[in-house]
Amino acid sequence: MLPSQIERLFDEAPAHYEEEHFRLFRDFKAGLNRGEIRAAEPDPSTKTGWRANPWVKKGILLGFRMGAIADMSIDPVKQPFFDKSTYPARAFTAADGVRIVPGGSSIRDGSYIGRGAICMPPMFVNVGAYVGEGTMIDSHALVGSCAQIGSNCHISAATQIGGVLEPIGALPVIIEDDVLIGGNSGVYEGTVVKRRAILGTGTILNRSIPVYDLVRDTVYTATETEPLVIPEEAVVVPGSRVVSHASGAKWGLSLQAAVIVKYRDSKTDTRVQLEDLLR
């Protein structure tokens, strides 16, 4: 019912939005906040194990279309803020069980933050994002629109998790359960990082960067129809690849790459285990 109503309102925009339209959008946004509506969800029948929900992205875009610029300032002189009235900062209470440490973080309405999550300042979670239970979003980290992050992950300081609203059918970045992403890393363009993988500090993943698996003697890349997928339990670090073009060889150039140097074992688990006391 709700998906068809959202799609109809998106495809057949009225001359003026009435209270019934705003009520529909509020119901939709409440579902995002509860984690019951997701921009992407697990689907074992697909190659990636995930599928995008285009109607959800339409609902999010609809909110931008319906909203008017509103004054959201904490202090109109010292801290002026202006944004779409449909997307204020999300409201939390202590009963939600989420730690939002003081210091300037922002979580936009229409995103899910699971119980036990830790938000270290300053960090930002955009609309449509899903952050699972027990996950830590560290300082200066960004979780982009519609990105899906699993439970018990660690998104380290200054990491960028890319977002996507358009094209409507594109898969957002997926970070599955128990993934650790080292500081200053970036995951973009619908990349899927499977459960228990580890990205070393400064690792960049997107549709253009190949990933060389030294253990399994294979190379992972995105295709025209499928995103880059990092295997379960892979330990990935930044790397480089030689430029084969004559001028590149003459100048000693190399291009960015990523390298799987091992898969998780008991020694790795000990080194990356999150300290329960922090929770």
In the chain, where the domains are located: 2-68+86-269
Tell which phi-psi region holds residue 36, choosing left (phi > 0), alpha (psi between -120 and 50) or beta: alpha
d(CA 97, CA 79): 28
Which fold is adopted by the domain 2-68+86-269?
UDP N-Acetylglucosamine Acyltransferase; domain 1 (2.160.10)
Encoded amino acid at 121, one letter:
P
278 — pLDDT class (breaks 50, 70, 90): low
pLDDT at 254 over 90: yes
50-52 vs 40-42, strand pairing mode: antiparallel
The answer to whether 260 touches 215, Cβ cutoff 8 Å, is yes
pLDDT at 270 over 80: no
The pLDDT of residue 82: 95
First to last CA, the chain: 39
**Mean pLDDT over each residue of the chain, to the nearest integer:** 95
The pLDDT of residue 272: 67
The pLDDT of 51-77, averaged and rounded, is 95
53 — pLDDT class (breaks 50, 70, 90): very high
